[in-house]
Copies of this chain bind each other. A is one copy, B any other.
Amino acid sequence: MIKTVIIGQGMAASYLEVGLERLKRNEIPDYGVPLRNWIPVKYDEIEIVGSYDVDERKIGKTAYELAREFFDSSVIPGKLKEIQVRRGIHMGSLKGLPYKAKGLEEKLGFDKAVETLIEEWKSLGAEVFVNVITTEPAEPIGSFDELMARVREGYLSASQAYAYAVARYAKEVKPSVFINAIPSPIANDAAFIQLYEASNAIVFGDDAATGATPLTADLLEHLYQRNRRVLGIAQFNIGGNTDFLALTEPERNIMKKKTKSSMVSDILGYEAPNYIRPTGYLEPLGDKKFVAMIIEYSSFGDFKDEIYVIMRVNDKPAIVGVLIDMIRLAKIALEKKKYGTVYEVNAFYTKKPGPPGAKAISKVKAFYRLLDWLGLKDPRD
Whose C-beta in chain B lies nearest to the C-beta of A229? B31
Q: Which of A215, A227, A379 neighbours the largest number of chain B CB atoms within 10 Å of its CB? A: A227
- The listed residue (B225, B232, B282, B300) touching A232 by CB distance below 8 A is B282
The digit string for A4-34, where 1 denotes a CB below 8 A from any CB of B, is 0000000000010011001000001111111
Q: Judging by beta carbons under 8 Å apart, are A299 and B281 in contact?
A: no
Q: Flag the segment in A76-84, A117-125, A272-280 that touches B.
A: A272-280
Among B273, B301, B307, contact of A22 (Cβ-Cβ < 8 Å): B301
**Interchain CB contact under 8 A, B379 and A218:** no
Selecting from A89-97, A187-195, A315-323, the interface stretch reads A315-323
Complex copy number for this chain: 4
CA A228 to CA B234, docked complex, whole Å: 25
Evaluate contact between B311 and A306: CB separation under 8 angstroms. yes
Q: Are A227 and B32 in contact (CB under 8 A)?
A: yes
Report B-chain residues with C-beta under 8 Å of the C-beta of A362: 364
Q: In the complex the two chains form, what is the Cα distance from A231 to B282 in whole Å?
A: 10
- Whether B227 pairs with A298 at a CB distance below 8 angstroms is no
Give the complex CA separation of A226 and B201 in angstroms. 27
In the complex, the answer to whether A309 meets B309 with C-beta atoms within 8 Å is: yes
The answer to whether the Cβ of A221 comes within 8 Å of any Cβ in the partner chain is: yes
- Docked pose: A222 CA to B310 CA in angstroms: 16
Q: Scan residues 310-346 of chain A and give those whose CB is less than 8 A from a CB of chain B.
A: 310-314, 317-318, 320-321, 324
- For the complex, is A283 an interface residue (Cβ under 8 Å from B)? yes
In the complex, A103 Cα to B204 Cα: how many Å? 58
- Contact indicator B238/A294 (Cβ below 8 Å): yes
When C-beta atoms are compared, the residue in chain B nearest to A250 turns out to be B250
CB pair B29–A275 under 8 Å, yes or no, is no
Quick check: is A148 within 8 A (CB to CB) of the other chain? no
Q: A215-B222, A284-B232 are in contact. Are A28 and B275 (CB under 8 A)?
A: no
Complex contacts, A324 vs chain B, CB 8 Å? 300
- State whether A292 and B236 are in contact (beta carbons under 8 Å apart), knowing that A218-B222, A318-B299, A364-B218 are contacts in the complex: yes
The distance in angstroms between the C-alpha atoms of A305 and B290, with both chains bound, is: 10
Which partner residue on chain B sits nearest A379 by CB separation? B269
Q: Which residues of B contact A225 (CB under 8 A)?
A: 34, 363-364, 367
In the complex the two chains form, is B306's CB within 8 Å of A32's CB? no
For A314, list chain B residues within 8 Å (CB). Answer: 299, 301, 303-305
User: From A236, which residue of chain B is reached at the shortest CB distance?
Assistant: B236
Cβ contact within 8 Å between A301 and B214: no
CA distance in complex: A320, B236 (Å): 29
Contact residues of A with B, CB < 8 Å? 15, 18-19, 22, 28-36, 214-215, 218-219, 221-222, 225-229, 231-232, 234, 236, 238, 266-267, 269, 273-275, 279-285, 290, 292, 294, 296-314, 317-318, 320-321, 324, 359, 361-365, 367-368, 379-380
